[in-house]
Amino acid sequence: MTALTDRIQEKVDWLFPQLVAWRRHFHEHPELSFQEQETAAFVYDRLADFGGYELSRPTETSVVARLITGRPGPTLALRADMDALPIQEENALDFASKIPGVMHACGHDGHTAMLLGAAKLLAEQRSSLRGELRLFFQHAEELFPGGGQQLVDAGVMEGVDTVVGAHLGSSLPTGKIGVCLGAMMAAPDTFSITVVGSGGHAAHPNQTVDSVAIAAQVITNLQHIVARNIDPLDSIVVSVTQLQAGTADNVIPGSAWMGGTVRSLDPALRDSMPQRLERVVRGICEAHGAHYSFEYRRGYRPVINDATVTEWVAEVVRSELGGEHLEVIRPSMGGEDFSAYQQKAPGSFFIVGSGNPDLESDFPHHHPRFTIDEAAMRNGVVVFIGLVHKILATAS
């Protein structure tokens, strides 16, 4: 352990009860994407209390804090997301959500608390830093088009040299920090397909163009894109998740609608997917005398971690927590709008393990029983502060 490590650990341990209090406050008072007015106001007021930060509100429900040291150096940005999900909480916690049908089921309450904690401690360390530290308390990660792109469009990344974000992860044990080099999270695109046939009596299918039967063939053959049309070494998912057709047992409906998602890590492969999907739909519909409509909506870009910045994160984990806490993780087909910032500067996104079966904090994300092991927040704050000192510390 280094002298810096000892000081960081001591300060984070001292601050830990406040981290827990902040996280529980956010958990009790969740707000949906683009509705985070009270959360943003709470964050703004705490940052103002810390002192030393130039504060702004680039959007109605976000906060940006700048710690400008006045000494030449790079600009580092750290990001936390603040929004909750439209899920009814099923946890029997003293601090369970007070908002019916809304809960923090993805750990964003912990993300916000961790970055607030880092902000408080770093405000006291300004004299030992150079350049600029920029903190993004972001709205609307869960809902496309996402708060990340809105903040980028508002100019928050101008002059930023490096950007880093973190996410609590229930599938990674508490105490572990997960890093992933290169493509880490997928582009979550969506599609909508309507098969238009000709309806009629279910007793006389020969007099119809059966939209349900055709839709079934479309669904089956879309899976052939992944199984037989894509290199097996490329990572991609095509999932039809919605199907709507018909109103009665004895009526063949005139149309059937389906929707779903395409998840991809490679930008070039992603660009080819609309044409691949529509080719399948067009061929099947033409073969059976049906018509169709097809819509493909591009979601967030894939999260692709910069090699140098990711190694900095790994070095901080090894030096401040110990090498046994570092884990190289596999990419995920989930999506994250942290990718918006990575279009403007090299960046890395890492996972703070918060899974603990003894505390029942190993439920999957977006589950009504999701919660975190609050002890994990210590590690997130330590890594944030360690990165700031690694990148912005003045020469000794």
**Enzyme catalytic residues:** 83, 141
Between CA 37 and CA 274 the distance in angstroms is 37
Per-residue CA distances from 58 to 19, 137, 157 (Å) = 25, 10, 12
Which among 234, 155, 226, 145 is positioned nearest to 190, based on CA atoms?
145
Question: First vs last Cα of the chain: how many Å apart?
Answer: 18
Query: What's the token pair of residue 207?
Result: 């007099």
Q: How far is CA 121 from CA 15, 55, 63, 342, in A?
A: 9, 17, 18, 26
**Contact status, residue 350 vs residue 166, Cβ threshold 8 Å:** yes
Distant-in-sequence, close-in-space partners of 39: CB < 8 Å, separation ≥ 6: 26, 29, 31, 61, 82, 112
For strand 75-81 and strand 162-173, is the pairing parallel, antiparallel, or unpaired? Answer: parallel
Find the helix packing angle between 3-28 and 37-50, rounded to 10°: 150
The residue among 300, 383, 335, 326 whose CA lies nearest residue 106 is 335
